[in-house]
């Protein structure tokens, strides 16, 4: 739920535009940030009542670039462009400009949220002819791996066999 509903915003904008009070006085009276009230008034002047309603939107890279180019071409501030294009998040335009400076148009593309997806279809094995950095093929490495596993398993099996013989001997002694 939004912190401030449409009726509250409309009431404050009407009070300011009607000349009842100044922006700082209205903001202090209602316990809100002065700059937020200023944004509401600017958006209302450009877009009317529609600017005070909730809006869920995701912007594509082309739109973001258009907003930034308009801001730079006309010498507008981020706040003015935000009101002009009815962008509700005050810091969006500044973030877009920073991302554009860091990574160009590709940095403006919407990002997936949340955890990355798990790989559904694993890539097929690469050809067996491919050599590893040490010069051995995949087949050679698999054979060596199998040999090393057997080498490790052999003493374990021997221990288990000796332990079983020992237990059998102790059982025999107890019976006797």
Over residues 11-27, the pLDDT tens digits come to 888 888 888 888 888 88
Q: Could you tell me the sign of the dihedral formed by the alpha carbons of 98, 103, 108, 110, in that order? A: negative
Rounded to two decimals, what is the model's pTM? 0.47
Domain boundaries, the chain: 1-54, 55-111, 141-176
pLDDT tens across 91-123, in order? 889 999 999 998 888 888 887 778 877 777 766
């Amino acid at each position: 739920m939004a912190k401030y509903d449409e009726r509250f915003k409309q009431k404050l904008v009407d009070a300011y535009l009607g000349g009842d009070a100044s922006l700082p006085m209205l903001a202090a009276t209602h316990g809100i940030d002065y700059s937020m009230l200023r944004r509401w008034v600017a958006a209302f002047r450009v877009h009317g009542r529609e600017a005070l309603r909730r809006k869920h939107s995701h912007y594509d890279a082309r739109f973001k670039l258009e907003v930034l180019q308009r801001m730079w071409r006309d010498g507008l501030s981020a706040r003015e462009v935000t009101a002009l294009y009815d962008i509700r998040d005050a810091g969006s335009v500044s973030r877009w400009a920073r991302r554009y400076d860091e990574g160009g148009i590709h940095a403006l593309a919407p990002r997936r949220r949340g955890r990355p997806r798990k790989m559904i279809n694993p890539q097929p094995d690469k050809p067996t002819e491919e050599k590893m950095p040490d010069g051995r093929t995949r087949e050679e490495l698999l054979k060596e791996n199998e040999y090393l596993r057997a080498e490790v398993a052999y003493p374990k099996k021997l221990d288990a066999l000796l332990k079983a013989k020992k237990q059998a001997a102790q059982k025999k002694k107890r019976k006797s």
